[in-house]
Amino acid sequence: MQEHWQEVMGIAQGEVRAFEFRNWFKPLKPVHWHNGTVTLQVRDAEFQEWFIEHFEPVLLRSLEEVLQKPMMVEYKIVDRNLFETVSPAAPAPPAATELTREYIFDNFVVGPSNHMAFAAGKAVAERSGKAYNPLFIYGGTGLGKTHLLHSIGHYSHQRNPRLRVLYITAETYFHDMTTSIRCKSMEQFRVKYRDACDVLLVDDIQFLAGKPRTQEEFFHTFNALHAAGKQIAFTSDRFPQELPELEDRLRSRFEWGLIAEIAAPQLETRVAILKAKAQRMGMALGDDVALTIAKQVKDNIRELESCLKTLHLVSATTGEPVTVAMAQENLKSYFRSRIRRVSVEQILRQVGHGYGVTDVEIKSRSRKKNIAQPRHVAMYLARRLTVHSFPELGERFGGRDHSSVMAATRKIDKQRRIDATLQQTLDDFEQKLRR
């Protein structure tokens, strides 16, 4: 029986993809072989159903080729613990792992700053592997990227409970890989990330920067998942082209699907977020209080929630209602610490005044040295002091390509390290803009 089974497996392996063979054929164990019927030990009913639907015809053809007669297959479901002892590399059952319960689409407040990312996330969750694959969501800290990633996982699994959804951070991927290398268990590692998940959600992908061995492994993970039509979604704090120390081939993979930005929410959206979060907390929050907080906290949703939690705690412990005066009193130290946000227009005016040129000249196509240098300095400061991405800054600097802004900021960053005069000039500009 074992000799015949090895021949059968050899034929089947040539008819399916490597990860399919590893995922669905290697876990099979023949336990009885009699009168044209093979009885196979399988993990559970779900495994059996999926195998019959997708791979049993391949197995039957392989059996008949080896034995030269019609064959039938029966299945025997065994205790899961026993089966895992027999086949530790077998895929986990469909599940949505490590997803935060509150992070669902219904709890996500949509506004002009995030509507594209929200719509793309919803489309991906509704048509897993078929719409925008991969999906790359980028934006600053605390703007809702993780919320959207979890929402995709929840909604995908809700629509199709058979989907195996895996949410991780890039840091988790790195630690899993280094542990697997140390324990000589890379096969199990690859099964987990390439075979045993249908939707892979990776948070903070920028963490892979500067880790060439991890990037190499993730490159092959991406290719395996994408080739199998499995959905991939990432979040990052930057546009793909802005990610430092990342291999070009991996960066290009991130750009295969759709890139969606989440920007800082507008005032009305911030008020709506505060009201929605307060309602879920069971907290009475007037429009005037929400407006007071929203005017102070402009670029981080987590900080909005932190303000709410502070007020909720004070109100619960003192019995004092949440009013504007109460909010100003209890959040005053926080409000005072807010750094003033600088605009691109302010930077253009300040740099132009310092170099004796106009903002129109800075945004022009002139390549004269007396124009190009202040342009590069302004681009560097804009990248440092604003929340705008490279593509957005390119538009604000005369409709340039994002690569022009990237090149300028790198040039100034390199020059300032060896030119003390330039560094002092940059410091002076920044101090004046901060006032």
Chain segment 207-246, per-residue pLDDT in tens: 898 899 999 999 999 999 998 899 999 999 888 887 878 8
pLDDT at 56: 87
Token couple for 384? 């440092």
Q: Are 208 and 178 within one domain?
A: yes
Question: How high does pLDDT run on average in the chain?
Answer: 85
Look up the domain containing 428 and give its range. 344-434
Helix/strand/coil for 41? strand
pLDDT at 85: 34
Last residue in a domain, options 231, 262, 293? 262
Q: Are 109 and 231 within one domain?
A: yes
Mean pLDDT of 166-188: 90
- Whether the per-residue pLDDT at 89 is higher than 70: the answer is no
pLDDT at 336: 59
| Residue type at position 120 | A
Q: Is residue 158 part of a domain?
A: yes
- Whether the per-residue pLDDT at 34 is higher than 90: the answer is no
Last residue in a domain, options 62, 86, 110? 86
Q: Is residue 63 part of a domain?
A: yes
33 phi and psi, to 5 degrees? -145, 105
Token couple for 138? 């980028």
Residue 363's CATH number:
1.10.1750.10
Cα–Cα distances in angstroms (integers) from residue 249 to residues 105, 150, 256, 356, 402, in the given order:
32, 27, 11, 43, 19
pLDDT band at 42 (very low <50, low <70, confident <90, very high): confident
* Percentage of the chain exceeding pLDDT 70: 92
Q: Are 116 and 226 within one domain?
A: yes
Q: Are 169 and 307 within one domain?
A: no
Q: Which of 55-59, 112-116, 386-390, 428-432 has the lowest mean pLDDT?
A: 386-390
Q: Are 308 and 173 within one domain?
A: no
pLDDT at 146: 92
Residue 101's CATH number:
3.40.50.300
pTM above 0.75, yes or no: no
Q: Are 10 and 102 within one domain?
A: no
Last residue in a domain, options 231, 246, 262? 262
Q: Are 240 and 317 within one domain?
A: no
Q: Are 147 and 250 within one domain?
A: yes
pLDDT at 78: 62
Q: Is residue 92 part of a domain?
A: no
Inter-residue contact 176 to 185 (CB < 8 Å): no
| Residue type at position 59 | L
Q: Which of 253-267, 276-290, 328-342, 401-415 has the lowest mean pLDDT?
A: 328-342
Q: Is residue 422 part of a domain?
A: yes
Q: Are 251 and 376 within one domain?
A: no
Q: Are 116 and 238 within one domain?
A: yes
- Whether the per-residue pLDDT at 277 is higher than 60: the answer is yes
pLDDT at 233: 96
Q: Are 191 and 322 within one domain?
A: no
pLDDT at 338: 54
Residue 291's CATH number:
1.10.8.60
The distance in angstroms from the start CA to the end CA of the chain is 83
pLDDT at 377: 95
Q: Is residue 91 part of a domain?
A: no
Angle of the 267-280 helix axis to the 301-318 helix axis, nearest 10: 40
pLDDT at 337: 52
Write a three-state SS string for 370-412: HHHHHHHHHHHHHHHHCCCCHHHHHHHCCCCCHHHHHHHHHHH
What pLDDT digit, counting tens, does each position of 116-175 carry? Answer: 999 999 999 998 888 789 999 998 878 889 999 999 999 998 888 888 999 999 988 998
Q: Are 282 and 367 within one domain?
A: no
Q: Which of 4-13, 58-67, 357-366, 382-391 has the lowest mean pLDDT?
A: 382-391
pLDDT at 99: 84
Domain total for the chain? Answer: 4
Mean pLDDT of 273-302: 86
